[in-house]
Amino acid sequence: MKALIHSKSQEVKLITMDPPSLNNSYTDEYHKNKSNYINNIFKFIFQKINYYNLEWVLVKVLYGGLNPVDAKHLYGDKLPEVLIPSFRSFIEGSIAGIDFCGEIIDVDNNNSKYKKGDIVYGTMPPMLGSFAEIIKVPTNFINLKPKLLSAAESSALPLVALTAFQAFEDNNLKENMNVLIIGGSGGTGHVAVQVAKIKGAYVTAICSSKNKDFVKCLGADNVIVYDSNDLFTNLQNIVLKYGLFDIIFDSVTSLEEKDSKFNYYEKMTGKANNSNNLLSNNGKYIQLGGTPYQWLLAHIKRFIGCNLFPKNWELFWVRFPNCSELLGRIAEYCDKGKLKVIVSKIYKFDEESAREAFRDQVCRRTIGKIVIEISN
Ligand SMILES: NC(=O)c1ccc[n+]([C@@H]2O[C@H](COP(=O)([O-])OP(=O)(O)OC[C@H]3O[C@@H](n4cnc5c(N)ncnc54)[C@H](OP(=O)(O)O)[C@@H]3O)[C@@H](O)[C@H]2O)c1
């Protein structure tokens, strides 16, 4: 393997981003014809990758966990449509994927923590990509995989678990607080329900009626279905019994009309007609998707340190660098049986299956997570 590292490059199979052409409207392709859009967003190729300068570990990827952002060209909702054509050249050819679990096949000489043969899980820095047979990963983006989870399950966990822990810890979620999770059956939501329980919160989750039992089994104290007329009456009853929510974690609202039409924020904070406020005075409404303007504020908060969000609202943005310690804590919770991840589908690493996986992901009906088996 040393030969591979010092030969400076190796040809590996990978999924590379191939965004829609400049002539096509991103919105048209993405929102109106998802199948066509998926056919155009990536290429399956063999590419020579340089692996010298090893401050990182070299990993043979076993599984890659799929996230909505992988199918949104890694920039998600962040850019206004007018800027997308110029950004296209920036991401074109970058490797897709963020989450992975894999086996270390070589380590940097200066690295004392990991050795060949260790099975690690974590994230790749965006644009560098995890959907490739071999990746070079910074060690501060990984940790040893949870012992009790399979490699497929471990690959599904990093981004969503980091999101839930960071969002709750940044907002001082404490024991006995009252938490509402919107989208309790999805990738982020099903982990957020469990993380809020780990933190000792009283948890109410919203999902569709077909997933009610699934979310209940994750430990939610109350599960309210959104496909009934009683959603807000039921929430109001919970508030009357247990008090206003200290944190509302919204993993559904996004720029897409099919998500934003629920108008959750306005309806839960009394801003919509005939709605009541469900959020406590010092509470926080945490949203995971937003408008380009809201993303601009998130960038200002992260890179300039200036928080321009309103007091009770935030567009949360997960952080990957230096997440190794948190991944270690997450693995401990998994090994104590307190946190699990549900993998509902595993797809093969060939062109047709990978397209099917991306199609499935953008449909937003997944229970838990989707994973691609890259090598095993
Ligand atoms: N800002 C960040 O750092 C960050 C981090 C992670 C994720 N995200 C974003 O957060 C969003 C969610 O990610 P994800 O991985 O959880 O997506 P996902 O797994 O695709 O979410 C699918 C789930 O959404 C649920 N859902 C859809 N409409 C709903 C509604 N109106 N009310 C309640 N639940 C609804 C579905 O449940 P039913 O089938 O039961 O309807 C399904 O289980 C994405 O937009 C993603 O890009 C952002």
CA dihedral 277, 281, 287, 292 (to 10 degrees): 100
pLDDT per residue as tens digits for the range 73-93: 666 677 777 777 777 777 778
CB 4 within 8 Å of CB 51 = yes
- What is residue 20's predicted lDDT score, i.e. its pLDDT? 54
Please check the confidence at residue 52 and state whether its pLDDT lies above 50: no
Measured in angstroms, how far is the CA atom of residue 248 from the centroid of ligand 1?
A: 14
Ligand 1 neighbour 68 (Cβ under 6 A)? yes
Residue 207, helix vs strand vs coil: strand
pLDDT per residue as tens digits for the range 282-314: 999 999 999 999 999 999 999 888 999 999 999
CA dist 76 → 130, 143, 180, 295 (Å): 17, 26, 24, 10
Give the whole-angstrom CA distance, residue 363 versus residue 355. Answer: 13
Relative orientation angle of helices 158-170 and 187-198, to the nearest 10 degrees: 50
CATH fold for domain 2-157+342-373:
Quinone Oxidoreductase; Chain A, domain 1 (3.90.180)
pLDDT per residue as tens digits for the range 142-174: 999 999 999 999 999 999 999 999 999 999 999
Ligand 1 neighbour 182 (Cβ under 6 A)? yes
CB 284 within 8 Å of CB 171 = yes
Higher pLDDT, 23 or 349: 349
Q: Which ligand 1 atom is at minimum distance from the Cα of 361?
A: 20
- What is residue 112's predicted lDDT score, i.e. its pLDDT? 72
Query: Which phi and psi (to 5°) does residue 106 adopt?
Result: -165, 155
What are the domain boundaries of the chain?
A: 2-157+342-373, 160-315
- What is residue 80's predicted lDDT score, i.e. its pLDDT? 78
Measured in angstroms, how far is the CA atom of residue 186 from the centroid of ligand 1?
A: 5
Q: Enter the CATH code of domain 160-315.
A: 3.40.50.720
Q: CA geometry: angle at 12 spanning 64 and 323, to 5°?
A: 40
Q: Which ligand 1 atom is at minimum distance from the Cα of 183?
A: 34
Ligand 1 neighbour 366 (Cβ under 6 A)? yes
Measured in angstroms, how far is the CA atom of residue 1 from the centroid of ligand 1?
A: 40
pLDDT per residue as tens digits for the range 249-275: 999 998 888 788 889 999 999 999 889
Q: What is the pLDDT averaged over residues 49-69?
A: 81
pLDDT per residue as tens digits for the range 311-333: 999 999 999 988 999 999 999 99
Which residues lie closer than 8 Å to 197 by C-beta, 6 or more apart?
203, 218, 219, 220
Least confident of 32-36, 135-139, 192-196, 274-278: 32-36
Q: Amino acid identity, residue 99?
A: D
Measured in angstroms, how far is the CA atom of residue 97 from the centroid of ligand 1?
A: 17
Q: How confident is the model at residue 46 (pLDDT cuts 50, 70, 90)?
A: confident
Ligand 1 neighbour 364 (Cβ under 6 A)? yes
> Cα 124 vs. chain centroid, distance in angstroms?
13
Measured in angstroms, how far is the CA atom of residue 366 from the centroid of ligand 1?
A: 9
- Rg of the Cα trace of the chain? 21
CA dist 358 → 60, 129, 367 (Å): 22, 15, 15
Class of residue 233 by CB neighbours under 10 A (exposed 0-12, middle 13-18, buried 19+):
exposed
For residue 152, the number of C-alpha atoms closer than 13 Å in the C-beta half-sphere is 15
DSSP H or E segment with residue 224: strand 222-225
CB 316 within 8 Å of CB 309 = no
Please check the confidence at residue 188 and state whether its pLDDT lies above 90: yes
CB 62 within 8 Å of CB 70 = no
Strands (E), 37-195: 42-50, 56-66, 99-106, 119-123, 134-138, 142-144, 178-182
